[in-house]
Structure formats: C-alpha cells, structure tokens
Amino acid sequence: MVLVIGAAQTPFNRRKDGTSFRDWAGDAFDAALAMSGIGRCDIDALIVASESDFFTLQLNPASVLVQDLGLTGVQTLRVEGGGATGQVAVHAGVERILSGRARHVAVLGVDPSASALAGDSIRELYGYSFDFWTDGLSGVTSTSLYALSWQAFAAQHGGTSADLDAVTMKNRGNAMLNPNAHLPRHHEVGEFTASPMIASPYCRLHCSPLSDGAAALILSSAQAAPDARRKTAPEINGIGSASDLPGLGHRKNPGHFEAKSLAAKRAMAMAEISASDIAVAEVYDAYAGAEVQAIAALGLSDNPLNALRSGDFAQSGRCPVNLSGGLIGQGAPVGATGVAQTASCALMLEGRYHKGLQPERPLGHALADTHGGIGTSCAVTTLRAGASA
C-alpha cells in the first residue's frame, strides 16, 4: 500500500521576481515534507519530473536538486514523458515503494515553462515533441494538432464551440477560488468570439497558459508512515499507462484518446474499481476540448457532452472535474502538472483542499490524468480516501 503523506505546490504563474526553478522546487518540497511528519533523513529516493532541459538549462536536474534539498546520498531519478512527465514520476515513486526498494519517496515536479524562453521558442519546441520528421519540421503547432483532434471528436459526437466556452468558463471559474492559480477569471460568453483565433475552433481563451511552478509529494509505504498520517492519508491504489501512434493521421480514430482509455483501464483494474466509483477528477485540459475527450476516454461519462451541458462536472455536480482550474485555469508548468494533479486529489480526499473548492460530501476515489503529445503517452492514477478521512 502506498500512501500520500505529504502534498504541496507553489503558485503557478509567470515568475518575474528573480527566483529560479531551484527555489520553487525547495518551497514545494519543504511544504510537502512538513505535512508528512517525517524528516529529510527518512527519504530514500527522489524522483524529479522535468520535461525539458531547454527550460531549466540544467542537464541532469536531479543532481542539483538532491543537493539543494539536503538529500545527498539518496536514490535519484529524472523522468520525462512530455505532458505526462509529472504523472510518470508519480508512477515511478509508487513502483519503488511497491517493489520494496524504498519506504519513503519524494516526487518533485518543476518546470519554468513561462519565463525560461520566449513564447514563440517554446511553441516551436512543443512542435518538436510530436514526430519531428513528419510534424516538427513542417512547422505544425500543438494547437493545430489538438484542433484537428477536437474537430474529429466533435464531428462524431456533436461538439460545438459553446462546449469549449463552457469548459473554459468552468475551469477558470474554479481557479478564482484557488490561490495558486495562474488564470483565475470570470468569462462572459462574448469574450470568446472576440478572442483571436489560433487554430479553428480554438481561440486564445480556449488554451492553457505557459506557467512556472513546482509541486511535490511525499509517498510512503503504509508500514513506514507515521501513525498520525497513516490514519487519514489517502492511498494511491491504481496506476496505469499506455502509448499511441504519435501521428494523428496514422490513427484509426484521431478524435479518441485510445491510449488514455487503456491507461485508465489498467489503473482501475489495479485498484479494483470502475469509472463509476470516481467521485472527483483532475484531467489534462491543455485545450478546452481535450477535457471532454479525456472524460470520454476515461469512461467518466457515456455522453460527456450532455453531461457537461447538464453540469455533471461542475463543483456541485456528480463528478467535479478540474476543481483546481485544470491547466486552463491553474496553469501548466509541465513537469509539475501531473504531480500537482495528484496532490490536489490527495488533498481533496483528505478534506484539506482550498476553501470553496473542497467537496462537502465524503469522497471515495479520485482520478488524476495526464498525457504527452495528443493523447500519445498517457498516465492515469487513482487514489482512495483513508479510512479516517
């Protein structure tokens, strides 16, 4: 059994205060460690999630972070999986504990995705994160590929631009109650038609921002967890990952995230639950339509568009989705994203989340979902509330 005994994140925003990723990493780690009830000397491994050396300008970032955090001597590992980087790191930490190689693992996600490079340079780099030969060299952007995928999904299921607006308004509205959010904002419907078109039907407001920030988890085996934390800490009871063809044109159904469906099935099989057991979810919404596509792929609704329009995924709905604000509202420092999703789910299950966003009803299970590419590298984590939560 793997427990989340510590969970924290920094604000996600564009840093202009002279601090670096090493500062944010320390802030997130210190807060998670303080919650955990253990000391630095108890940490057996540090897993670092950082998507790109172009952002940090630091090859092998784990080597400097393990020094900065006062953990020299522990096992270290840096992982990268595109947008799924943070969730892949969570899985690596879980696997170390389940294998018996560690009792306590620190998982740290960090990226200066907003301040390290100019926006155009970052967008070019993201184009290289797809198939470089067929997509990157052509100058294609992530927005255009996501737009093509949404168009395919919308043609099959009847999606409209109004649905994209609704997702954006929901998530940025949630972000207004999240003190760590990059874009807390109330939108009026008319703002979307006035927003610049990036790749039809995505306008600028339908896109997540580039953000700086860090998030951290302290994972523990149940046997090694402090007594005070063992009673209430949530359990990571399922992890699953899968991959798909990187090129949309090579897939049978470019509008469906097939690898995400497979990753979710694997995570839920490990947890011995079904999608109907999920009470709250944090899903990957780099673009507004990707949230709906994720909900469909994860099996959280047989008809996600009708469910969205009916309010099923709102704060008071059947299964609130992206109470944090998601990438669209809370922000998207890539390496930190999946770690922060898992941290948010853990805090919600324990009743520790932000005032106004913490669900009032008891929660049984939560789900965190990320992917790299256009649903190409997918990672899903399920969590279960502690017995005394």
pLDDT digit string, tens, across residues 5-28: 999 999 999 998 999 999 999 999
pLDDT band at 254 (very low <50, low <70, confident <90, very high): very high
Quote the strand ranges of the chain, DSSP E. 2-9, 45-49, 75-79, 104-112, 197-199, 202-203, 212-221, 235-243, 278-282, 365-372, 377-384
Give me the percent of the chain exceeding a pLDDT of 70.
Answer: 99
Report how far apart the first and last C-alpha atoms of the chain are (Å, whole number).
16
pLDDT for 123? 76
Work out the angle at residue 279's Cα, subtended by the Cα atoms of residues 278 and 280, and round it to the nearest 5 degrees. Answer: 100
The CB-side HSE value for 16 (13 A sphere, CA atoms) comes to: 1
- Domains recognised in the chain with CATH numbers: 2-116+210-384 (3.40.47.10)
Work out the angle at residue 258's Cα, subtended by the Cα atoms of residues 302 and 322, and round it to the nearest 5 degrees. Answer: 60
Condensed to tens digits (0 to 9), the pLDDT of residues 25-80 reads 999 999 999 999 999 999 999 999 999 888 888 899 999 999 999 999 999 999 99
Rg over CA atoms, the chain: 19
Asked if 343 contacts 49 with a C-beta cutoff of 8 angstroms, the reply is no
> Residues 341-353: what's their mean pLDDT?
97
Per-residue tokens: 105: 């693992």
Higher pLDDT, 361 or 95: 95
Quote the mean pLDDT of the chain. Answer: 95
The CB-side HSE value for 304 (13 A sphere, CA atoms) comes to: 25
Q: Would the CA dihedral through 315, 182, 256, 189 be positive or negative?
A: positive
The residue with tokens 């078109």 is 197
Work out the angle at residue 335's Cα, subtended by the Cα atoms of residues 377 and 138, and round it to the nearest 5 degrees. Answer: 55
DSSP string, 37-48: T--GGG--EEEE
pTM: 0.96
pLDDT for 388? 65
pLDDT band at 389 (very low <50, low <70, confident <90, very high): low
User: How is residue 186 annotated by DSSP?
Assistant: -
